[in-house]
Structure 1
Amino acid sequence: MGIILPVRANFIDGAISPASNLLLSEVIGALSYALDMTEGQPPGHSIRCCYIGMSIGKKLNLTHQQQWDLYYTLLLKDAGCSSNAARLYELYGGDERIFKRDFKTVDMNDFKQVSKFVINHVGVGEGFLTKLKRLVDVGKNSEEYATELIETRCERGADIAKRLGFNDAIADGIRYLDEHWDGNGKPYRKSGHAIPIASQIALLAQVADVFFMSAGKKSSLEQVSHRSGSWFNPELANVFKSLSGDMKFWSDLGTNDLQQKIMALEPASLAMKVSEERLDDITAAFGMIVDAKSSFTYNHSSRVALYTDLIAAKFGYSQMHRSYLRRAALMHDIGKLGVSNNILDKPGKLTDEEWVVMRGHSRATEEILSHLTPFAEMAKMAGAHHERLDGKGYPYGLSDEEIHMDTRIITTADIFDAITAERPYRGAIPVDQTLEIMKKECGTSIDRIVYDALTKVVAELGLK
């Protein structure tokens, strides 16, 4: 028998089926904003790269299938970006998002640029001896480390693309993103036309956008021209150069509503709506992207989604409502992609300033999910998972009836998994102790009837 919920929890299933009229391009485009944060790029980086790359692709008269493959290669080029964040922080220290952001402006063929970058970005904020030790280590192993980090990102990105249901061409477009025309790229040292055309265009689009956003149109054109023949296929560089006088192209690139414009760039004959099953796959894959950012959050989102679903079942939620809630649970921490690993993986107590950054992930979750209009309600629920019944939570300080029952369920599942999992500052806490800790929080941070449902779920799963 299901648990009887208060009226506050009533929810009309017709309002929670966001997949009915959604296009695949809408969903991937909206969620690409999360990937931008992990790379330390200004919001819309992936969208702008898509606009640049598709503009080049159209001038090359690529087939519709090639354009479609290029389209999703561009939007998902950074799908594996979270997978090397913890390792990058371990090797170089500091804020890995800043490291990644600034690394994209470095020409790896320029020894002076590389040396300056390393000195300025290794061991930031650490003591002299620690920084010196890191610099010596990086000096000895720089090639090995760079290859490892890029391979991890590219292979993980290709795997994510496959999990999202995309074809081998798109997976390979992501896998070979960092290969250079002259063969000096990484990790596989491919060269010339052995590099997939989608990879060639995506890398050029990435560099073009990084310099456009940091220094403007002139710098963007100069950098692409400078790297023609080394990083880039000269033919592609010339195509990009031909866009220099296209004022609409550059004005579009600088607008804030580019997400709507790129939807029109997907070949119409290949555009598709998202089924409920495909949307489940997409949210699960993005949950994996979030969890890959730190070893301490491995499978966190999937476990929270499982506990959320089983608690919802105790309340007699319909299958449609449970599916909706699972998706929200899978993406509840997507805003953490914008938090540096020097905070996520810090073994000691966070400073007040670091707590401000950490707490900001909830609002970031809401903002990312809000890029997709049908996710608006889900965005609010997922973004509120750190609110408390006593009003002492964040980001808005909601209390009591202001907190939807769906959010209370996600919150309870999240707290349970967080306590029972290992953290950088402590080991995992046994289930029985966790439930005792949570019981004391009923009425303040945890809803009592949700807690009661959790205890039943834990017992049925046989968790210890």
Structure 2
Amino acid sequence: MDQPVRAADLMAAVSAASDFAKGLPEEQALRTCRIALAIAERAGLGVEDRRAVFYLSLLRFVGCTATASEMAAALGDELAVSSLFAAVDPRDLRAVLGAAASLIGAEHGLPRRALDIAKFLAAAPAVIREHEVTSCEVAQLFAGRVGLPPDVTAALGQVFERFDGHGNPGVAKGTGIALAVRVEQVAHATELLVRTVGWDAASAGLRRRAGSSFDPDLVELVCQDLHGLRADPDEDLDQAEVLAGEPEPWLELSGDSLDDALAAIGAVADLKSVYTRGHASGVAARAAEAGWAAGLAEPDVTLIRRAGWLHDLGRVAVSARVWDKAGPLTAAQWEQVRLHPYVTERVLSRCPRLTEVAIVAGSHHERADGSGYHRGVSQPGRLAALLAAADVYQALTERRPHRPALAPAERAAVLRAERDDGRLAGWAVDAVLATAGHPVAGRAPEALTAREREVLALVARGATNRTVAQTLGISAKTVNAHLEHVFTKLGVTTRGAAAFQAIEYGLLDA
């Protein structure tokens, strides 16, 4: 856990999440990065511009979650809208109309469908502008928090500009747009067009938008040898090979700088819905506090805090229409929800040094009785069990589309019911409730046997394993086995902490 994490590995994970958040194929950003680096080499860009191209390609859409709720409310499923319009020139009215017609109201009669399309086209420009302007600003804040170079941070504010000056936010045009941005824009469009319409049509599409959307000189440079840019969508992608294209020295994150980056990723994921903003930071704080209370070692507290920041990264793959829905979910929508922890784990697995964090983060909806998801395992690991309890409690402090935030007593009652029904681990619930200010003393820990209570009472009073064995007429090896079970059930790792729990639970009369 204390090893430095390469920023590029972490940003590759972020780029995969952004692909999901825009309804694009996984690895679209990485493929764009490979193309962009090839264009940069062909154009003779220097080291700093190539570094900017590298990070821009991975982070183009990092801020896109910021207006997901608003876009979904105004235009419908924002993932479908983003996916369908990804390769469309917004100033090509025929292309825009065709995309809108394929998206809207095929199940309705012509008059209703025409009206729905008209409403969509009327609302879209303002919604898209707000989306792109906000995305740029959030991306810049994110880059600053991660510690990326200032020129990368500045360039992220221009990714939706156009060469003709009709882009967003509309403050730069022509060669006033950073060269790295102009390269990334052409690379992004190249990947989309080659994959969706083929080589010849892609070349024609790029040339058609030269001088309007894109730098005409870069378009010509690309179209001279489109096949030489490794844009073939059927070619396997090696993430390590792509990331090796980052100019040295490579940026690394550790300690506080890594924590800042992970917290920023969690914040971006939370923007997906107006109902989840601040959730990840709350879960991270609660899980860490409960971890200390439960006697976890410092490395485990660090791990669970980081998993708390990242646990809902997979939310971005589900439309805000689902997260913001006040009524019951359909079977298909519920299946999407059940898969979001899987997406969290899948995305984070792209960063090799976050493997442990990925596993814990992806297990936050597992339950002790096997009723959770996405794996449906019973008795998940201790850190996963604690994260699950912290996640449930934090969610109850927040409003949701179907309910208001719960009062403290109601939150505690829900958690205790989950504990008593066997879904959440008792020790984890107690740790979360205790650190949230709820009394937990007087409740016996889950399923301590009579013999385990006897062993605990003696150990809590300072008896050695040998003394316990002699007193109870059992072997020292058996005493040790009982202690392991007691420690697990109490959620502690030391004799002193076990004694404290025994006092709290009133077990010293055993």
Q: TM-score, normalised by structure 2?
A: 0.81
State the partner residue of 1:267. Answer: 247
Q: Tell me the residue number matched to 2:432.
A: 454
Per mean C-alpha deviation after superposition, the further-off stretch among 254-263 and 199-208 is 254-263
The residue that corresponds to 1:445 in the other structure is 423
Mark the CA change 1:378 to 1:125 in structure 2 (over 3 Å): closer, same or farther: farther
Map of 1:296-307 to 2, 5 A cutoff? Answer: 296-307=275-286
**Mapped contact 2:31–2:231 kept (Cα < 8 A):** no
- Larger RCO, structures 1/2 (Cα 8 Å, 6+ apart): 1
Most deviating of 118-127 and 447-456: 118-127
Q: Distance in 2 between matches of 1:409 and 1:381?
A: 10
- Once residues 307 and 430 of structure 1 are traced to their aligned partners in structure 2, the CA distance between those partners, rounded to angstroms, is 17
Q: Unaligned regions of 5+ residues in structure 1, if any? A: 1-15
Q: Which amino acid aligns with 2:16?
A: Y
Cα contact 1:48–1:258 (8 A) shared by 2: no
CA contact (8 A) 1:47 1:258 kept: no
Q: Percentage identity across aligned positions?
A: 26
Instruction: Give the structure 1 partner of residue 40 of structure 2.
Output: 57
Q: 2:157 & 2:316 partners in 1: Cα distance?
A: 21
- The CA distance in 1 between the partners of 2:155 and 2:197, in whole Å, is 27
1:356 is aligned, of 335, 351, 354, to: 335
Select which of 292, 301, 305 maps to 1:313: 292
Inter-partner Cα distance in structure 2 for 1:140 and 1:273: 46
SS in 1 for 2:45: coil
1: CA distance, partners of 2:287 / 2:390: 6
AA aligned to 2:351 is L
Amino acid at match of 2:132: I
The aligned runs of 1:266-415 (5 Å cut-off) are: 266-268=246-248, 270-400=249-379, 403-415=380-392
C-alpha displacement at 1:221, in angstroms?
A: 2.5
**Residues 208 and 223 of structure 1 are in contact (CA less than 8 Å); yes or no, is this contact kept in structure 2?**
no
From 222, 225, 234, the equivalent of 2:204 is: 222
Distance apart, 1:129 and its partner CA: 9.4
In structure 2, give the amino acid aligned to 1:414: D
Counterpart among 26, 32, 35 of residue 9 in structure 2 = 26
1:4 counterpart residue number? none
- The one of 127, 147, 154 aligned to 2:129: 147
Is the alpha carbon distance of 1:406 and 1:152 closer, same or farther for their aligned partners in structure 2, counting shifts above 3 Å? Answer: same
Q: Is the CA contact 2:158–2:181 (under 8 Å) kept in the aligned structure 1?
A: yes
Take 1:278 and 1:205, find their aligned partners in 2: how far apart are those partners? Answer: 30
Q: Alignment partner of 1:297: what SS? A: coil
Mapped partners of 2:302, 2:401: distance in 1: 32
Cα pair 1:217 1:250 within 8 Å, conserved: no
Corresponding residue for residue 207 of structure 1: 189
1:178 has 2:157 as partner: no
Which residue of the partner structure matches residue 38 of structure 1? Answer: 21
CA deviations 1:445-464 (Å, max 9, x no partner) are 21111111112111189xxx
Does the 8 Å contact 2:304/2:360 carry over to 1?
Answer: no
Describe how 1:238-277 pairs up with structure 2 within 5 A: 238-246=220-228, 249-250=230-231, 254-268=234-248, 270-277=249-256
Q: What do residues 313-337 of structure 1 show as CA deviations (whole Å, max 9, x unaligned)?
A: 1123333322221111111111111
2:70 maps to what in 1?
A: 87
CA contact (8 A) 1:54 1:71 kept: yes
Shift of residue 273, structure 1, vs aligned partner: 2.5
CA separation of 1:123/1:305 partners in 2, compared to 1, >3 Å: closer, same or farther?
farther
1:48 deviation in Å?
1.0
Task: Note closer, same or farther for the CA distance 1:114–1:442 as it changes in structure 2 (3 Å cut).
Answer: same
Distance 2:358 2:235 in 1: 24
RMSD: 2.3
Look up the match of 1:13: none
2:103 corresponding residue in structure 1: 121
Q: Secondary structure at the match of 2:367?
A: coil
Check if 1:78 corresponds to 2:68: no
Cα distance change on mapping 1:379 and 1:148 into 2, 3 Å: same
> What is aligned with 1:188?
170
Contact 1:243 1:249 in 2 (8 A): no
Partners of 1:280 and 1:126 lie apart in 2 by: 50
Measure the CA separation in 2 of the matches of 1:255 and 1:242. 20
Name stretches of at least 5 consecutive residues in structure 2 with no aligned partner.
Answer: 440-510
Q: CA deviation at 1:357?
A: 1.0
Question: 2: distance between equivalents of 1:66 and 1:188?
Answer: 22
Matching residue of 1:436: 413
Contact 2:159 2:181 in 1 (8 A): yes
Aligned residue identity for 1:237: V
**Cα 1:108–1:31 shift into 2, 3 Å:** closer
Aligned mates of 2:107, 2:22 — CA distance in 1: 20
Distance 1:31 1:149, change over 3 A: closer
Separation in 2 of the partners of 1:113 and 1:220? 15
**CA deviations over 1:261-290 (Å, ceiling 9, x no partner):** 11221112x313222222212211110111
- How many residues in Structure 1 have an aligned counterpart in Structure 2? 438
- Cα offset, 1:130, TM superposition: 8.5
Scaled by the length of structure 1, the TM-score of the pair is 0.89
